[in-house]
Amino acid sequence: MDETATANDASQMDDTGSNNNVAEQQECHLCSCRRGEINRLLEENRRLKEELAQKRMDEDSFKDDDAKVKYYTGLPCLALLMGVLTQLLPCLPQTGRKLSPFQMLLSTLMRLRLNLPIQHIAYLFSVDRKTVSTTFRDTIGTMFRHLKPLVHWPERHCLHATMPHQFVEAFGNRVAVIVDCFEIRIERASNLKARAQTFSHYKHHHTLKYLIGITPRGSISFISQGWGGCVSDKHVTENSGLLNKLLPGDLVLADRGFDIRDSVGLVCAEVKIPAFTRGRSQLDAKDVEETRRIAHLRVHVERVIGCVRTKYTILNGIVPVSMVLPCQGEDMTFLDKIVTVCCALTNMCPSVVMKP
């Protein structure tokens, strides 16, 4: 009896031990499965965080990716973008926690660069339309105040010291500025007088016209306020303040529409424009040669205008009337500020005229 009981107890102990071993094996297998699942989830979490960071449109999403910086802002690298942010930071408007200062600058540059609709930007940054609209207007105002000095008329000795050899060969060191006008299309105003003042027969559209001046090396040294598209290039040049910057002996290169010899002569400067036939069947050899030299050098201003408009495509769209009304308490329009900011930003980039 005792032997039988002992045998049964031993058998039960063996069964218990066996069951425990099975349970332990099952538990170890379960732990292994769970550990693998945890590792998989951790890896997925890491990957999703990286994807989220790339879509968050913050500083981290642009690190080591200058191509992305250039695509969204027009600036060549993140270091330059952060330099602009540092300059503007103390004066940027407050948006609470909706947009960081970097995102405020970035969203503004994206609108300038890509001409994205306000609602599109609002979706990208997960904010409401009003926040984007207000941020854009306020940030442009801040950028205008701080970046406007980058559109700078250089001192004569600086021009002489940096004069490209093509200009020296053609006109010595006299060329101070190359000028041209470009037009930006705007919505048709409801006011009949405003319609008449802004209609451009050249563009067959309502426009604002801007006078731009560049140095021989290709930096933008002058940008006017906007004028109605019906105004002549000559009138804009004579009334925009550019002539006040000329010194005796300066030479201005311009196109045929800039017949400003008399007004430029009042400051003892000179303008060179391509020759007219003026009733003659053809130009003489001397005029042909000078016209060729002028055209060869004057084309640089067209390249700069093309660069600004390619870099910041908001200048190629049709601008709403609200942007061409005078800013409150100021004698310039919001579009004037946008154009100046775009020119200043372009001056921060490598020149399309003088290649490094």
CA 188 – CA 341 distance, rounded (Å): 24
Q: What percentage of the chain has pLDDT greater than the value 90?
A: 68
Classify residue 224 by its DSSP letter: -
Q: What is the pLDDT of residues 109-121, one digit of tens each?
A: 999 999 999 999 9
Domain residue extents for the chain: 59-148, 153-332
Average pLDDT across the chain, whole number:
88
pLDDT given at position 57: 81
Looking at mean pLDDT, say which of 5-14, 158-167, 250-259, 337-346 comes out highest. 337-346
CA 105 – CA 73 distance, rounded (Å): 9
Q: What is the pLDDT of residues 46-68, one digit of tens each?
A: 776 666 555 678 899 999 899 99
Weakest-pLDDT range from 19-33, 178-192, 339-353: 19-33
Q: Is the pLDDT of residue 15 over 60?
A: no
Q: Is the pLDDT of residue 13 over 70?
A: no
Side-chain half-sphere exposure of 51, counting CA atoms within 13 A = 6
Q: What is the pLDDT of residues 247-283, one digit of tens each?
A: 999 999 999 889 899 999 999 999 999 876 565 556 6
Tokens, residue 155: 């001192």
pLDDT given at position 292: 86
Confidence of residue 94 (pLDDT cuts 50, 70, 90): confident
pLDDT given at position 31: 76
User: Across residues 329-336, what is the average pLDDT?
Assistant: 94
> Do 200 and 207 form a contact (C-beta atoms < 8 A)?
yes
pLDDT given at position 41: 80
For residue 215, the one-letter residue type is T
Using alpha carbons, select from 216, 217, 253 the residue that is nearest to residue 237: 253
Confidence of residue 19 (pLDDT cuts 50, 70, 90): low
Question: What DSSP assignment string belongs to 80-108?
Answer: HHHHHHHHHGGGPPP-TTSS-HHHHHHHH
Tell me whether strands 270-272 and 251-253 are parallel, antiparallel or unpaired.
Answer: parallel
- Burial annotation 218-229 (CB, 10 A radius, 16+ → b, else e): bbbbbbbbbbbb
**Residue 157 contacts by C-beta under 8 Å, 6 or more apart in sequence?**
none
Strand, coil or helix: 177: strand
Q: Is the pLDDT of residue 99 over 80?
A: yes
CB count in 10 Å sphere of residue 270? 17
Weakest-pLDDT range from 22-36, 205-219, 289-303, 308-322: 22-36
Q: What percentage of the chain has pLDDT greater than the value 70?
A: 86
pLDDT given at position 280: 58
Report how far apart the first and last C-alpha atoms of the chain are (Å, whole number): 106
> Do 108 and 139 form a contact (C-beta atoms < 8 A)?
yes
pLDDT given at position 288: 78
CA 342 – CA 74 distance, rounded (Å): 10
Torsion angle of alpha carbons 195, 241, 212, 238, nearest 10°? 70
| Residue in the block written with tokens 């080591």 | 64
> Which element (helix H / strand E) includes 20?
helix 2-55
